[in-house]
């Protein structure tokens, strides 16, 4: 007979109680994700369900070479620019 459960690799570790912001948090036997606050005695769960896609993603940053060529073009240094970028 084992008194210990298998470790739950998906358990998250809250830093503060979401109700009273207490730090006296202990794993609770209610569920595999439950925590008990030692200050307000509430039992709660912390679960991560995933990440949603953003509404819009930022454009990709130019490469170092593209940024250099754009800067040279902007400041009129066409003599040192690569062929095809002038
Ligand atoms: Zn609390």
Residue among 5, 67, 2 at smallest CA distance from 33: 5
Whether 2 shows a pLDDT value over 90: the answer reads: no
Q: Measure 41 CA to ligand 1 centroid, in angstroms.
A: 6
pLDDT in tens, 27-59: 999 888 999 999 999 999 988 888 888 888 888
Beta carbons of 7 and 32 less than 8 angstroms apart = no
Q: Measure 33 CA to ligand 1 centroid, in angstroms.
A: 16
Give me the pLDDT at residue 40, please. 97
Q: Measure 38 CA to ligand 1 centroid, in angstroms.
A: 7
Q: List the structure tokens of 6.
A: 């298998």
What phi-psi label fits residue 21: left (phi over 0), alpha (psi between -120 and 50 degrees) or beta? Answer: left
Q: Measure 67 CA to ligand 1 centroid, in angstroms.
A: 52
SS3 of the chain: the string is CCCCCCCCCCCCCCCCCCCCCCCCEEECCCCCCEEEECCCCCEEECCCCCCCCCCCCCCCCCCHHHHHHHHHHHCCCHHHCCCCCC
Give me the pLDDT at residue 80, please. 84
Q: Measure 10 CA to ligand 1 centroid, in angstroms.
A: 22
Structure confidence at residue 19 as a pLDDT band (50, 70, 90)? very high
Q: Measure 19 CA to ligand 1 centroid, in angstroms.
A: 5
């Amino acid at each position: 007979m084992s008194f210990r459960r298998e470790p739950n690799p998906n358990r998250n570790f809250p830093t503060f109680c979401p109700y009273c912001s207490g730090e006296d948090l202990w794993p609770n036997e209610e569920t595999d994700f439950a925590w008990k606050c030692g200050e307000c005695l509430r039992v709660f769960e912390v679960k991560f369900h995933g990440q949603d896609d953003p509404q819009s993603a930022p454009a990709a940053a130019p490469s170092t070479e593209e940024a250099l060529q754009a800067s040279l073009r902007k400041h009129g240094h066409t003599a040192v620019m690569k062929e095809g970028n002038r």
